[in-house]
Structure 1
């Protein structure tokens, strides 16, 4: 029997190719698991939890992603691309004020859709170079968005680029506290903020409805339970 010929015909004579395919499948499983967990729980999820969700060993995970920041960089590359595109679209809007309003609302909506991304936009990752490069591009674009909006007379003259960071931090906090019980609450927050940024008489979108008292009570109760659980940890 020609063993070498049989192996070659079946593909068994090219173990490197098979290993590369297996490695790529494992990488995609890890990324899919991380996206799912980050979107649901935020960035506090451990690498061990990602490995369990992906069905791979920790050694396999660390062969693909040496650090937590490496994994975050890979998972959120497409989301950061969308963040940059939102900036570019706002700058291309014929109405600078409308572009400003849409930009704030769109970025906050991106946070609401993915708790992990809500965290990414309010943190820095010094070793995640690709992610930070996109953040820098979006930031410089936002500086131009501010100047264009201010030129219309509709944006308060004392609005500063740092105010966007405060908006994103506040929005991330609301999303974390109310996401499971009053998931549209963030829209109400942004409605109030946009009115605060606008000069008297400037056009603003209709005010979103307030969340119900019952849904906010459930969100507050859930937050209290979370805090009690954290305090009880050894």
Structure 2
């Protein structure tokens, strides 16, 4: 059969359309895989901490480990993506505390909110104190805000004079160890623990001196 002059362009247009459809399908599959990996990783790290291996993340996301590494070349890269929002949230909470007119109310609000967030997400405390470059900027911003919050409460005479940043971090680390049958129970236990910490941190008469503080955060290079 003889082909017309216009037949070749029409066939080429059809091939291009099919190729574009295949490429879009591949891109869509990749986006879905990435979203599923992140959702599984968030849930796993929050419930079990940062030690969940990549192969287990891949198994739960129903993809191969190679697919995970295609999107996130290292586990640190995956952690950086998973905890980007929670780390930014920490800074937002401290800013909210600094915005309070009452320095003591602001300090208590920050401690309560951060302790509850860390109780519900076992990976957050570890991520905050880990020596990972992905978290350096957010962590240093939060630390700077916390130091301002602490100084403000001390100047107002409501926070004990020997309180230091490491005491705040130590409370978050201890709070991470709360174990309960449900997230609601963990949050409730965290609120009680925060209340106990707040009572011990408040300035008042007959406060016994504290032992020396221990560095709990990585040094900034």
TM-score normalised over the length of structure 2: 0.81
Q: Shift of the alpha carbon at 1:3?
A: 4.1
Greater Cα radius of gyration, structure 1 or 2 = 2
CA–CA separation in structure 1 for the residues paired with 2:59 and 2:131: 24
The CA distance in 2 between the partners of 1:13 and 1:106, in whole Å, is: 48
Structure 2: distance between partners of 1:66 and 1:98: 43
The counterpart of 2:158, out of the listed 151, 154, 158, is 154
Residue in structure 2 matching 1:36, options 18, 39, 43: 43
Q: CA deviation at 1:27?
A: 1.0
Q: Report the alpha carbon displacement of residue 69 of structure 1 after superposing the two structures with TM.
A: 0.9
Shift of the 199–59 alpha-carbon distance from structure 1 to 2, 3 Å rule, reads same
Q: Which range moved further: 178-187 or 75-84?
A: 178-187
Q: Mean alpha-carbon deviation: is it higher for 109-118 or for 55-64?
A: 109-118
The answer as to whether partners of 1:124 and 1:132 remain within 8 angstroms in 2 is no
Q: 2:141 & 2:79 partners in 1: Cα distance?
A: 18
Structure 2: gaps (5+ residues): 1-6, 206-221
- Choose which of 18, 29, 36 in structure 1 pairs with 2:25: 18
Is structure 2 residue 119 aligned with structure 1 residue 118? no
Q: Secondary structure at 2:19's aligned position in 1?
A: coil
Match of 2:92 in 1: 85
- Whether contact under 8 Å (2:41, 2:82) holds in the other structure is yes
Q: Does 1:134 align with 2:138?
A: yes
User: In structure 1, how many angstroms separate the alpha carbons of the residues matched to 2:67 and 2:12?
Assistant: 31
Per-residue deviation at 1:199?
1.8
Alpha-carbon deviations, 1:151-178, whole Å to 9, x = none? 12111000011111111111112x2xx2
Give the distance between the partners of 2:126 and 2:132, measured in 1 at CA.
15
Query: What is the CA deviation profile of residues 116-142 of structure 1, one whole-angstrom value per residue up to 9, with x for unaligned ones?
Result: 223323x313332xx221010000000
8 Å contact from structure 2 (residues 50, 123) kept in 1: yes
Give TM-score, length-normalised by structure 1.
Answer: 0.76
1:190 corresponds to 2:194: yes
Choose 182-191 or 156-165, whichever is displaced more.
182-191
